[in-house]
Amino acid sequence: MTYNPFADLSATIPAAAMQAYVVLMFVLVVAGTLADIIHKKSAKFFFQNAKKAEAMRTRDVGGGEKASILIKTVASDVLTSSEFCNPHRRLAHLLTMYGFVAYVITTCVLVFGHTDAAMPAPGIVMALWYLGAFSVCVGGFWFWFFIRVDVAAEGNPWYRIMRADLFVLSLLGSTTFALLWSILQGAGVGMLSSIFFWLFIASSTVLFGGVLWSKFAHMFFKPAAALQKHIAEADGSQDNLPPPADLPANMGLGIKRELPRHY
């Protein structure tokens, strides 16, 4: 929990090269997100949806109320993921989300500020790096092996992989290989540590470079969609949508209509 693998790595790979790699990954995320917005026309959808809601609203929502809705959206939908009804999936999501944030931030801190062995990283930074990566592994593998699949009901085994799984698999690869690389390098196991280091780099490159083909950009769209939904609920435009048509009572289909369940 105190060993800094990036400090020892600087003996073979210059700190400038590590920093350039991190900057490149940041640029790829920005470019991939913009490309995703253009390709899927997400911005156009949000704009059109907002115009429709504005035309259907029954009351004006002031700036103070919008600020309050924004704070509640961040506290509820973003920070605590209240949209998940399944408590197990919610906990797995929170472990993965907060672990990912801690992992990315501390990696940047270590690469840009503590690659020199003469300047050891603060203990709290190293602890957060290890805990962040471990939290992602716990939440991510829990989701992959126990929540994502329902073999009994749907017949989908854990090894059934789709393009939408690119994000979670590359994220799990990045954190898992990072931990294994750090442990083995700290133990002086040269060959294995080198293998896991390059697997760490490869999976991280897929994670940050594959935004256009994964659900990475989804994390940026969800808060915007949640905020738009809560504002629509406040100004009455959400309530002006036509209700679902009920089945006639004399159809005799024996179907009981139930509210949808979101998991």
> Looking up tokens 């503590």, which residue turns up?
114
| Structure confidence by residue, pLDDT tens digits, 67-83 | 888 888 888 888 888 88
Percent of the chain with pLDDT over 90: 44
Confidence of residue 246 (pLDDT cuts 50, 70, 90): very low
Spans of all domains in the chain = 5-48+85-226
Task: Please name the residues in contact with 52: beta carbons below 8 A apart, sequence gap of 6 or more.
Answer: 237
Residue 62 has pLDDT above 90, yes or no: no
pTM above 0.85, yes or no: no
d(CA 233, CA 227): 10
Q: Is the four-CA dihedral 48, 49, 54, 56 of positive or negative sign?
A: positive
Residue 115, CA atoms < 13 Å, CB-side half-sphere: 16
Q: Which residue has the higher pLDDT, 244 or 120?
A: 120
> Looking up tokens 């294995």, which residue turns up?
192
Task: Please name the residues in contact with 88: beta carbons below 8 A apart, sequence gap of 6 or more.
Answer: 142, 146, 147
Mean pLDDT over 111-121 rounds to 88
Judge whether 61 and 234 are in contact, CB under 8 Å.
yes
Question: What pLDDT, on a 0 to 100 scale, did the predictor assign at position 117?
Answer: 77
56-60, 93-97, 131-135: the lowest-pLDDT one: 56-60
Question: What pLDDT, on a 0 to 100 scale, did the predictor assign at position 187?
Answer: 92
d(CA 66, CA 106): 33
Question: What pLDDT, on a 0 to 100 scale, did the predictor assign at position 122?
Answer: 93
| Structure confidence by residue, pLDDT tens digits, 160-191 | 788 778 999 999 999 999 999 999 999 988 89
Other beta carbons within 10 Å of 123: 10
Judge whether 253 and 247 are in contact, CB under 8 Å.
yes
Mean pLDDT over 215-220 rounds to 72
Residue 232 has pLDDT above 70, yes or no: yes
Residue 256 has pLDDT above 60, yes or no: no
User: Considering the chain, what is the average pLDDT of its residues?
Assistant: 82
Question: What pLDDT, on a 0 to 100 scale, did the predictor assign at position 69?
Answer: 85
> Looking up tokens 């059934």, which residue turns up?
160
d(CA 16, CA 23): 10
Q: How far is CA 82 from the centre of its chain?
A: 15
Confidence of residue 45 (pLDDT cuts 50, 70, 90): low
Mean pLDDT over 194-207 rounds to 97
Q: Which two tokens stand for residue 201?
A: 């780099």
Rounded to 10°, the helix 15-40/42-56 angle is: 50
CA distances from 23 to 13, 26, 111 (A): 16, 5, 11
Question: What pLDDT, on a 0 to 100 scale, did the predictor assign at position 202?
Answer: 97
Mean pLDDT over 57-65 rounds to 78
